[in-house]
Structures are given as structure tokens and as C-alpha cells.
Amino acid sequence: MTLPFQPPPYDTPMWDSVGNMTQTWRTWFNLLWNLNLSGTGGGQGAIQIQDDGTNVGAAGQYTTYNLRKNLTATQTAPAVVAFDGQTGGVAPGDGMVMQWEVSNNHGEAPLGLTISNASGTLSTETEADTTILTAQQKLIYQQANTSSSAGPWWSSPGIWRGSVSGSGGFTLQSIWGTRDVLPSDTSLFFGLTNTVSWGSFDASSNTNDVFGMGANAASTNWQFFNGTNGGAPSVTGLGVAKGTNQMFYQTLSCAANASSMHARVVQVTGYGASTVLLDTDFSSSLPRASISLIIFGLNRSATSLSKTWYSFHKLLKPLNPAYS
């Protein structure tokens, strides 16, 4: 494909004095990644949201999120969506991109990432230009019955920390949430694990490699779980009650062969408000460095049928094929 624009000259600085990507390179990468999101009135657009919740009409030095919405005839999409800031993972200029999203006809639109399997009952819904959540194209997974769980998973995309120098490393960004009435006893998880064969629906009751957000059945609030196979994971409270019709943007990252992993969780509401619930480096109770991790979603209630939805993943991996 011939692009109507060219990359910056090879000697253009990619990083500024404080380690942020320069505006020239940010614009280039986002032009590439968001070609399918460009357009105005009636097309597919992208929204930028700062941490203070305000909409941004042009690219700037912000921590922003690739949030999609259906545009009405009177709305205009910003021209560029900036890459979400992340710590300690694979930077845009250092890696290849793999992506998964829901298409206009509510099917999969994968770029290197496809759903390996799923449990529960799959449904879709017509987008409505009411809130960020209702405007998302999404796949919804509901329990088939109260004795089983629901949710999809993406196996073997080459996500691992790296067991020798220079190996591994990744940045995974995802948009997901809850839908309709969420029973108070719902167990939830979305993130990375080494296996989908969990002995318990509660993440904290398992002894798996685990790194992601969720909630135990008995928990009122959302939680973050990080753990090593063979021991119970550590649990961090996120300070927000689990509930109906919630939307989250989660970024999980790790530098090549790193001794720490980074997690960032943002809750998005309405058509602009966003709240950072977690932005932390974890240096203990981590998934094993040599294990390939699975992107895994789970929801289960013992009293009623719970639902979760999934809209978008972007995975950045190192360019060196020997280590990915």
C-alpha cells in the first residue's frame, strides 16, 4: 500500500528530554494506527479523553485513549488520537502491532489477534449515541447458567516477560466492561493468565500466573490481581464498586526480561469523564518470566446471569522475532 504521507526523517528525535515521544513521531504512528478510525459525520471516529475528562480536538501532550464511537451528522472526529502513555513496556517505535476489535457487523476484526475460544452465550446490540459505553461496538458474553462462567480468551499471542536478556516484553491495551444488571456476587477477571482452567471463579482463590483486574464474588469493589503460579495472588483494591454498565481501559505492560510489570486501569463514564484507578509498577508476585500468557475474560454469578463485554485490544510486541 502506498501511503499519502511519509515518515519523519530518520534523524528526527523520537523521545524528548523527559522520555515522552515527540509530537512528530506521535502523529506519524497515530496516522498509521487510526486510518480505519478517521472520518466525520456518520463515519467511524475516535475520541480523545484527558485524565481530567475533557475532550481534546487535536493531538497534544496528553494521556489519551483510543475510544470509538459512532458519529452523528453533527459530530466531528479529532484528526489524530495520541498513543496512551505507558511505563516500562514496548514503545510504539520499538515493536510490531497486533490488534483485535469488533467490526461494524459485530464480528471479529482481527489483526494478528483472534478469539481462541469462549464460554457462555454470545450476543450483540445496536450502538446508541447516548454514552461512550452504548456507542461501543462490542461482543457481550452472558453465563449460560449459574453454575458456569462466561467470557472469551485469546491464546498464544506471544505475551511473556522474557526469561533471558533481551527476550519478551509487551504492552497490551484493552477496552472492556460490564453490561446490564450485575449480580452482587459476580466473580470477574480480565487480564493475563497462564491457563483458563481455574479451580475457582475467584482470581484470589487460584494459584495461577495472573495479572489483571477483576473482583471476587464476595468483594464489593473492583480489585487488581498479580500472582505467580503456585501461590495465592496479591490483591489491590481499586476503590470503585463493581456495578452495572461499567467501562474500563486497561493497559498491562512489561519491558523485555524485566523484573517488574506495569498496570494502568482507567474507568470511563458518560461522554468524557475518566478516572485513573491504578497506575502502578509491580515488582513481586509476578507471572513467571518463561511462561506464555493468555488474554482471558471471565464473569460468573451463582444467583443470576451476569454479562461482560469486550471491544478492543492493541498488543505491541518487540520487532525481533527471535524473542517474541
Report the C-alpha gap between 316 and 104 in whole angstroms. Answer: 24
- Check if the beta carbon of residue 88 is closer than 8 Å to that of residue 258: yes
Measured at the CA of 221, the angle between CA 270 and CA 204, to 5 degrees, comes to: 130
- pLDDT at residue number 25: 61
Digit-coded pLDDT (tens) for 256-314? 889 999 999 999 888 768 899 999 999 999 999 999 999 999 999 999 999 999 998 88
Q: What pLDDT was estimated at residue 256?
A: 87
CA–CA separation, 4 vs 48, rounded Å?
Answer: 24
**Helical (H) or strand (E) element with 28:** helix 23-33
For the chain of 324 residues, list the mean pLDDT of each consecutive stretch of 10: 52 62 58 39 31 35 33 31 43 67 83 91 89 87 96 86 87 92 95 94 94 97 97 96 94 91 91 86 96 96 96 79 41
Domain residue ranges of the chain, discontinuous segments joined by +: 23-70, 92-323
The pLDDT tens digits of the residues spanning 62-81 come to 233 333 333 333 333 322 22
pLDDT at 286: 97
Please report the pLDDT score of residue 89 as a whole number.
60
- Bridging pattern class, strands 151-159 and 234-241: unpaired
The identity of residue 16, as a single letter, is D
The predicted structure's pLDDT at residue 64: 32
Tell me the CATH number for domain 92-323: 2.60.120.200
| Mean pLDDT score of the chain | 77
Is the distance from CB of 198 to CB of 154 less than 8 angstroms? no
Q: What is the pLDDT of residue 29?
A: 55
Nearest partner of 26 among 74, 54, 63, judged by Cα: 63
Q: What is the pLDDT of residue 14?
A: 63
Q: Would you put residue 83 in left (φ > 0), alpha (ψ -120 to 50) or beta?
A: beta
In angstroms, the CA 161 to CA 296 distance is 17
Output b/e per residue, 182-205; b: 16+ Cβ within 10 A.
Answer: bbebbbbbbbbbbebebeebbbbe
